[in-house]
Structure 1
Amino acid sequence: MSDIRHSLLRRDALSAAKEVLYHLDIYFSSQLQNAPVPLVEKGPIELLEEFIFQIPKDRSSHGKRLGAIQELQLLEILCNYFQEQTKEPVRQVIFNSLFSPQGNKGDEQRMALLGKLTSMAVAVCRVPVLESAASWLQRTPAVYCVRLAKALVDDYCGLVPGSIQTLKQIFNVSPRFCCQFITAVAAFYDMSTEDLLPPHDLLEMIVSWIFEDPRLILITFLNTPITANLPIGFLDFSPLMGMVRWCIIAPLAYSRKQKAAGGEPIRDNQNLYSKLHLSVLQGLMVLQTHLTEKGLYGRLALVLFEQLVPLVEELGQLCEELNPLNAEQEMELALDRLAQALQVSMATGALICSRGKLWMKVH
């Protein structure tokens, strides 16, 4: 790697970036011939940090910053590389080597560049980049995943009015990315405060996706090797629990927001949440078919009892916080949705729990 580094130092920043991808492509292609999962050593990571993220090898010195035009050209280089790399294992290992958090100062540059690269991939419809990002969202701690989701929401729901339509079209080319994106969005917009209610355009888009095909919320789960437990601090296998939470908490969360606004009318989007609730229940029916076909019915839960406990407790706190006389309908709607979600989850095998245990916790 030292010989490669010396040759790269003689090049300009963009030429060096393109060259380092070329060398690491050859390196990892060779590695993958000998092992299905190559060991990513320190050398390749350091080359990527120095010549893609402009982090100097001597950490005490300051790195060079690319200008806006150069950064755009770098994003084009990366987009083109992932688009043209036909070997998926090589593409994945390069993507992960580039963007997997290393626990150092370079993580800020990693996340910033990943957000811009994924945003560009959405804009110009680069499916290999979106598929790689979907895998990254599965393998990366949730704290980083929500940052990527927030960057996309800022780009497509905030900067330019109407740009959400560009993001919406991704459903047709990369449902897997959409599934992981929804999971990360639900982890961020958890409705715990007024500021963490999903923006209207984002909510409308997600509801339209799931309403069109309720199987969308199961894509990652259906295509992931079955494991007993998720690593702590990672996203769920699916956005199912996040969407259940949205539907149940929404009536009370919007009432709380209206109360905080002094009773001023707000856009509460309850029709969208009703549509989402129906779609989630339909998704659970799809799950039952899959679990039965795979012989996993009653053996593998996708809605965990441990996740329901804090949800029920939060629901109780919201009911106490809001004046029952002013929010009676909202409370009834939230409790109805909770009961329906529990009933269908248990009937379809998504929730494995005795009725007695569930009854004790809910009441």
Structure 2
Amino acid sequence: MSDIRHSLLRRDALSAAKEVLYHLDIYFSSQLQNTAVPVVDKGTIELVEEFIFHVPKDRNVQPKRMNSLQELQLLEIMCSYFQEQSKDAVRQIIFSALFSPQGNKADDNRMAMLGKLVSMAVAVCRVPILECAASWLQRSHAIYCVRLAKVLVDDYCSLVPGSVQTLQQIFSASPRFCCQFITAVTALYDLSSEDLIPPFDLLEMVVTWIFDDPRLTLITFLNTPISANLPLGCLDLTPLLGLVRWCVKSPLAYKRNIKPSLSNGHMGKLPREMPDSEGGDRDSKPLYSKLHLSVLQVLMMLQAHLTEKNLFGRLGLLLFENVAQLVEELARLVSELNPLNATKETELSLDRLAQALQVAMAAGALLCAREDLRSLCSRLPHNNLLQLVMSGPVQQPPHSPYQPGFYPHIHTPPLGYPPRPASAAHSTLPTHTAHPAHNTHSPHPTQTFLPGMNFPYRPIR
């Protein structure tokens, strides 16, 4: 490595960067011929950091930096290389060697170059780079993933009006990248503040993707060996949790951002879900309703996929602790908006939460005990549908292959009757004699619901 380094020091910045990329190709192609798991050694990483990301190895050496034109030329060289490299394994290992965060001062330069490369790949539809970026998003820490997502959102949803169409077109080119991108943007935009509400163009694009093909959200899960040890802090296997958060929190989050009328009679800033002043219809309410329906459809699909993988009742794609965090965020929003009379929005949020919980438990995506859910939702305001979900499902019978204590299928007993307890295994009962005939009873009057009476529900015990 020292000989290569001395040779690179005599070159200009662009020529040295091109030479490092050429060296990586030879080095890893040779390794893959001899071993199935190539090793990215420290010397290789140092060459990449010094001559591509311009973090000098020696403090006394002045770093060689590329101007904007040279940087653009290098990005074009990288695009061409990844496009022309026919071996996916070589592409993936070189992409990882270039852009895997190392936790050092070179990471800022590394992330800046990665954002520009992926943005260029979107613009010119370079599928090999998008596929490499999808793998990178799956392996890297969520902190770095949301940084890359923010770059793409800024480039295609904020800076140039109408450029979101370019990003939207990659749906058919690289669905795997789209799945990881959705997971990253739902982790970035968690609706915790006005700045973290997804831009309208981004929301519309994500909803269109998922509505057109709900299976898009499951691509990473369906193509990832569950036994593989993913790094701590990485993104979820699916974007389902983030999408449920968008649907559940959006009515209250947008309500929170409505500015009250000022004392001088002028109105404050309109929330993003209201039509804008330019005449365009920017109402996001139908989009969230459409997204909620799509998410429920995806959750219903999961039962078949989990059963096929022999994971039904064993793997929850919606972790209970993450659902608990969502409920905590919702409770804070409700408390914050109480003076604003957000009754309608609160009811809609709680209805969506109840529906998501019910379908997720029925599909086996959420594994938890009924008592845990009762305790978890005790801080939320009363909601009839949520009340039914908390008290409705009965436990699986003992002969069920699923774990006791969980109830992936939901069966709500008829109203007015207590839940039927789980039946125990029993031996064949002896035959008994028939009872004598008895007189026919007079018919009872039919029970009717009186107008104005609340819909009955079983209280939590």
TM surpasses 0.5:
yes
- Alpha carbons of 1:145 and 1:54: their partners in 2 closer, same or farther (altered >3 Å)? same
- Displacement of 1:220: 0.8
Equivalent residue letter for 2:331: G
CA distance in 2, matches of 1:308, 1:201: 27
Cα shift readout 1:74-109 (whole Å, capped 9, x = no counterpart): 100111111111111111111111111112211111
- Displacement of 1:231: 4.0
Preserved contact between residue 14 and residue 66 of structure 2 (Cα < 8 Å):
no
Counting only pairs closer than 5 Å after superposition, residues 302-341 of structure 1 correspond to structure 2 as: 302-323=317-338, 326-341=341-356
- Say yes or no: does 1:190 pair with 2:190: yes
Paired residue for 2:298? Answer: 283
CA distance in 1, matches of 2:305, 2:166: 32
- Alpha carbons of 1:325 and 1:95: their partners in 2 closer, same or farther (altered >3 Å)? closer
Q: Which runs of at least 4 in structure 1 moved beyond 3 Å after TM superposition?
A: 59-62, 227-232, 259-265
Q: What secondary structure is seen at the aligned counterpart in 2 of 1:322?
A: helix
Paired residue for 2:98? Answer: 98
- Displacement of 1:135: 0.6
Preserved contact between residue 53 and residue 110 of structure 1 (Cα < 8 Å):
yes
Deviates more, 1:227-236 or 1:78-87: 227-236
Unpaired stretches in structure 1, ≥5 consecutive residues? none
Preserved contact between residue 230 and residue 236 of structure 1 (Cα < 8 Å):
no
Cα shift readout 1:210-237 (whole Å, capped 9, x = no counterpart): 1111111111111111048754322111
Paired residue for 1:238? Answer: 238
Paired residue for 2:167? Answer: 167
Q: What secondary structure is seen at the aligned counterpart in 2 of 1:171?
A: helix
CA distance in 1, matches of 2:191, 2:62: 40
Cα shift readout 1:245-274 (whole Å, capped 9, x = no counterpart): 000000000000114686744231111110
Q: How many residues align?
A: 363
Equivalent residue letter for 2:309: K
Cα shift readout 1:61-80 (whole Å, capped 9, x = no counterpart): 44122111111001001111
Equivalent residue letter for 1:337: R
- Alpha carbons of 1:301 and 1:148: their partners in 2 closer, same or farther (altered >3 Å)? same
Paired residue for 2:225? Answer: 225
Q: What secondary structure is seen at the aligned counterpart in 2 of 1:286?
A: helix
Paired residue for 2:361? Answer: 346
Matched-pair identity in %: 71
Paired residue for 1:126? Answer: 126
Preserved contact between residue 138 and residue 235 of structure 1 (Cα < 8 Å):
yes
Paired residue for 2:429? Answer: none
The two structures have a TM-score, normalised by structure 1, of 0.96
Equivalent residue letter for 1:67: N
Counting only pairs closer than 5 Å after superposition, residues 1-363 of structure 1 correspond to structure 2 as: 1-227=1-227, 231-259=231-259, 264=268, 265-268=270-273, 269-323=284-338, 326-363=341-378
Q: What secondary structure is seen at the aligned counterpart in 2 of 1:101?
A: coil
Cα shift readout 1:309-340 (whole Å, capped 9, x = no counterpart): 11111111111111366211100100000000
Unpaired stretches in structure 2, ≥5 consecutive residues? 274-283, 379-461
Cα shift readout 1:9-65 (whole Å, capped 9, x = no counterpart): 333322222222122111111212232222211111111112212222213444122
Equivalent residue letter for 1:344: V
- Alpha carbons of 1:229 and 1:7: their partners in 2 closer, same or farther (altered >3 Å)? closer
Deviates more, 1:209-218 or 1:226-235: 226-235
- Displacement of 1:197: 0.3
- Alpha carbons of 1:334 and 1:261: their partners in 2 closer, same or farther (altered >3 Å)? farther
Cα shift readout 1:177-228 (whole Å, capped 9, x = no counterpart): 1111111111111111111100111111111111111111111111111048
Preserved contact between residue 139 and residue 230 of structure 2 (Cα < 8 Å):
no
- Alpha carbons of 1:311 and 1:36: their partners in 2 closer, same or farther (altered >3 Å)? same
Q: What secondary structure is seen at the aligned counterpart in 2 of 1:176?
A: helix
Determine which structure has the larger helix proportion and give its number.
Answer: 1
Cα shift readout 1:130-159 (whole Å, capped 9, x = no counterpart): 111111111111111111000111111111
CA distance in 2, matches of 1:260, 1:196: 20
Q: What secondary structure is seen at the aligned counterpart in 2 of 1:105?
A: coil
- Alpha carbons of 1:302 and 1:261: their partners in 2 closer, same or farther (altered >3 Å)? farther
CA distance in 2, matches of 1:58, 1:261: 60
- Alpha carbons of 1:120 and 1:228: their partners in 2 closer, same or farther (altered >3 Å)? closer
The two structures have a TM-score, normalised by structure 2, of 0.76
Preserved contact between residue 13 and residue 64 of structure 2 (Cα < 8 Å):
no
CA distance in 2, matches of 1:38, 1:291: 33
Q: What secondary structure is seen at the aligned counterpart in 2 of 1:65?
A: coil
- Alpha carbons of 1:325 and 1:63: their partners in 2 closer, same or farther (altered >3 Å)? closer
Preserved contact between residue 142 and residue 235 of structure 1 (Cα < 8 Å):
yes
CA distance in 1, matches of 2:18, 2:376: 57
- Root mean square deviation of aligned Cα: 1.7
CA distance in 2, matches of 1:299, 1:59: 53
- Alpha carbons of 1:13 and 1:230: their partners in 2 closer, same or farther (altered >3 Å)? closer
Deviates more, 1:247-256 or 1:277-286: 277-286
- Alpha carbons of 1:67 and 1:218: their partners in 2 closer, same or farther (altered >3 Å)? same
